[in-house]
Structure 1
Amino acid sequence: MSNVAGFWVRLGARVLDALLIGMVIGTLVFVFRMDTESRLTQAIESVASILYFVLFPTFVYGYTVAKRLLNIRIVKKDGTDVNLSTMVLREVLGGIIYAVTFGLALIVSAFMVGLRKDKRAIHDLIAGTYVTHDRAEHWE
């Protein structure tokens, strides 16, 4: 593992990505005059978020929009590009663990990224990934 990304840049990328998703969903809600409190709207937002965080890095060399802006990306532990199964483990299974533990595992993960030398969180350990500042060779 090389050039690992720390807590603050990872948090910043997640916040920026959440804002991006919120802006897209907010625009759709406005254009289609959807009820923001409806279960359908909330379900659409949840599915869009999951698809974004799973599919985007799968097809764009481990980047999300914000990760690309901040020059970080998700890679497998051996430094190769992530694939669909890796991202499903990382985002979906990791998310389920965070939800089942009522966020306690998420807090533990934040400390892990902040304190561990390899900066890997619970979802990284599950999926065999880490976040790096190394650019994708395919992206140059």
Structure 2
Amino acid sequence: MTVNEPAGFWIRLGALLLDALIIALPLSLIILIITGGRHSEENISEILSFLYNLLTPVFWNGYTVGKRICGIRIVKVNDGASPGLGTMLLRNVVAYLVYVFTFGIAVIVSVIMVAVREDKRSLHDFIAGTMVIRD
């Protein structure tokens, strides 16, 4: 594995915001138009966003649209390979459960970890054995 520079807090936040603007916002607007603003719109939007965040890195070598634009990607720590479905399930589902069961405290811990740790890994990175690197 080649040594890549870990992606820090601000670049990761930028990628997240780009994903929200480029994918989540238009998706929500399309669903709003299709459903006519019924309550099911939120559920459909959440499911599609979850699937986007779960599957896009699996099929696109660790990238989402926002990560690709920012030049960062998710890789496995042990071999630098792109994440598989199991890895992304750990990274998204298990981490989400940890964040919910700690009433958001783990989210704050994750932000601090990315900001101060040398390897810039957050809790969900540790759970899944991943890291976000600059390309």
Q: Give the structure-2-normalised TM-score.
A: 0.91
Farther-moved stretch of structure 1 (123-132 vs 20-29): 20-29
> What is the alpha-carbon distance in structure 2 between the residues aligned to residue 45 and residue 124 of structure 1?
25
CA contact (8 A) 1:120 1:130 kept: yes
- Note the 1:76-87 alignment, pairs <5 A: 76-77=76-77, 78-87=79-88
Which residue in the other structure is 1:21 paired with?
24
Q: 1:96: which partner in 2?
A: 97
CA deviations on 1:103-132 (whole Å, 9 max, x unpaired) are 110110000000000000000000000001
One-letter amino acid matched to 1:27: I
Residue type at the aligned position of 1:12: G
- Native 8 Å contact 1:50 1:92 kept in 2: no
Look up the match of 2:36: 34
Counterpart-to-counterpart distance in 1, 2:35 and 2:59: 32
CA distance in 1, matches of 2:32, 2:37: 7
Structure 1 position 27, deviation (Å): 2.1
| 3-state SS, counterpart of residue 73 of structure 1 | strand
Residue 7 of structure 1: which of 6, 9, 26 is its match?
9
Query: What is the CA-CA distance between 1:2 and the residue it aligns to?
Result: 2.4
Flag structure 2 segments of 5+ consecutive residues without an equivalent.
Answer: none
Question: What is the aligned length?
Answer: 131
Equivalent residue, structure 1, for 2:68 = 68
| RMSD of aligned alpha carbons | 1.2
Matched-pair identity in %:
46
Shift of 1:46: 1.2
Amino acid aligned to 1:23: P
In 2: Cα distance, 1:22 partner to 1:121 partner: 26
Shift of 1:33: 4.4
Once the two structures are TM-superposed, the CA of residue 34 in structure 1 deviates from its matched residue by 2.4
Q: Which runs of 5+ in 1 are unaligned?
A: 135-140
Aligned to 2:46: 46
In 2, Cα distance between the equivalents of 1:102 and 1:18?
Answer: 23
Q: Which moved more, 1:42-51 or 1:65-74?
A: 42-51
Return 95-104 or 73-82, whichever deviates more.
95-104
Output the amino acid matched with 2:51. Answer: L
State the alpha-carbon separation in 2 of the partners of residues 26 and 7 from structure 1.
28
Contact 2:35 2:41 in 1 (8 A): no
